[in-house]
Structure 1
Amino acid sequence: MNNNDRDKALYRYPDSDVLRNRLGITDAGQLEHVEFLLVSQRLEEAIPKGNFDLPHLQKIHRHLFQDVYDWAGEIRKVDIGKGGFGFHPHGRIEMGMADVHKRLDQQSYLRGLHRDKFVVEAAEYIGDVNRLHPFREGNGRTQLQYLKQLGEQADHKIDLSRFERKSWIQASIEANKFETTRMADCINKSIVDHSVQHTTSRQSYVEEQRKRAKAAQDRAKTRDRDPKR
């Protein structure tokens, strides 16, 4: 069985690109909307902590996506890619994440680093995790919670509402090519300065996602009213 056939058998509905889900939703727009709502609810709860290894990532992913996918928290069993870039082979994810954890441990999980140094190092590690892409879906949201906890224990409070979606997506694309300057800049802008109160209003990453989910819901309603569209 080739990789595409295995992906169909394990993760997708027959003759569809929609991922199998616990809700039985077969419309892509509706699934995007419902997934967003359910994950948002889980984000309001305490996010599992750990020691920044693979099981830690798995716990975060399982918590966020437990209401949507039966395989929440499980390492993907197929190879995947995006935008012409192939992520780490699924059979080497454990080894790759073990290397990330080993290096983090050797650097004391970035504790004691000045902000300027922290954002550079954190970007390198998140770039590594992104290239691994351990899960079939939901990697980005899992990585952001991992990053937030990494910053928290290193005394750099990261406010995820400061992330601008387009900038972060572009940063992730560049990080796949081992260029993490933009990612470091995104992380730097998200850190709450202990001595300065920021009052500037900025559209948050979460707000942008909410708009995307609403747009997906509207498209789904339009298709329901006019099946020919």
Structure 2
Amino acid sequence: MDKYGVGQDPYCYPGSHTLRNRFDIRDDQVLAGLEQQLSAIAANEIDFELPPYDLAYLQRIHRQLFADLYTWAGELRSVDISKTGTHFCNVLRIEPEAEKLFRTLEAAHWFEGLERGRLITSVAELFGDLNVVHPFREGNGRAQRILFEHIIVNAGYQISWWHVEELEWLQANIDAVVCDYQALIDVFERCIGQRIAP
């Protein structure tokens, strides 16, 4: 079994855990470093957009982040995956579950007009639920954070991820799998700043 619990992963080179990539890099650490660099450059080129926000919007973000490295960037994954004991959404349920969450966001008017405390709770719950869907083979967190930057800015608030430690972030997302959102609420309490001045 590989680290995602899917046996021989078709996204990886045979007999390895290294994702197939446009540069044919077979070393995990080298690939991770390049992925970080390329996605950081790409992230700076992603412009804020107004709603609607939907699965296609998230796919577009993912494609912009990872298209230079992976041929499947922006495509929904085709295998079931799990990580550190967390089983993500069954591949057949990715679209319906994601679309249900985005319909909930739309029905909440994209969280526009919420006071800060309610925004924090709403964002934490939606983030945790969407993370369980985990629509892509890799790069879910980075794509999702950009999506939520857009949601939060559109709602009229500042957002910064600098206040979050990696292990705290991972544990908060693991807790949210069983609908325990408190750790994510605590994280977003620090990340979501003041209202943006009109």
TM-score (norm 1): 0.79
The letter of the residue matching 1:24 is D
The letter of the residue matching 2:24 is G
2:193 alignment partner, SS class: coil
For structure 2, list consecutive stretches of 5 or more residues without a partner in the other structure: none
| Identity in percent | 36
* Counterpart in the other structure of 2:90: 89
**Pair 1:142 & 2:143 matched:** yes
* Counterpart in the other structure of 2:20: 20
Root-mean-square deviation (Å): 1.7
Asked whether the equivalents of residues 81 and 88 of structure 2 are also in contact (C-alpha less than 8 Å), the reply is yes
Q: 1:87: how far off? A: 0.3
2:162 alignment partner, SS class: helix
Q: 1:143: how far off? A: 1.0
The letter of the residue matching 2:66 is F
Asked whether the equivalents of residues 46 and 64 of structure 2 are also in contact (C-alpha less than 8 Å), the reply is no
Q: 1:176: how far off? A: 1.1
TM-score (norm 2): 0.91
Determine the C-alpha separation between the residues in 2 that align with 1:112 and 1:147: 16
Deviation digits for residues 107-142 of structure 1 (CA, Å, limit 9, x no counterpart): 111111110000001111111110000000000111
Asked whether the equivalents of residues 159 and 191 of structure 1 are also in contact (C-alpha less than 8 Å), the reply is yes
1:193 alignment partner, SS class: strand
Deviation digits for residues 167-192 of structure 1 (CA, Å, limit 9, x no counterpart): 21111111111111110111110122
For structure 1, list consecutive stretches of 5 or more residues without a partner in the other structure: 196-229
- Post-superposition, which runs of at least 4 consecutive aligned residues in structure 1 deviate over 3 A? 47-50
Deviation digits for residues 135-174 of structure 1 (CA, Å, limit 9, x no counterpart): 0000011111111111011011111233322221111111
* Counterpart in the other structure of 1:29: 29
**Equivalent residue pairs, number:** 191
Alignment of 1:59-208 (within 5 A): 59-194=60-195
Further displaced range: 134-143 or 161-170: 161-170
Determine the C-alpha separation between the residues in 2 that align with 1:149 and 1:162: 18
Further displaced range: 40-49 or 185-194: 40-49
Deviation digits for residues 181-222 of structure 1 (CA, Å, limit 9, x no counterpart): 110111110122259xxxxxxxxxxxxxxxxxxxxxxxxxxx
Q: 1:48: how far off? A: 6.3
* Counterpart in the other structure of 1:205: none
* Counterpart in the other structure of 1:204: none
Determine the C-alpha separation between the residues in 1 that align with 2:47 and 2:141: 15
Determine the C-alpha separation between the residues in 2 that align with 1:48 and 1:18: 32
**Pair 1:58 & 2:65 matched:** no
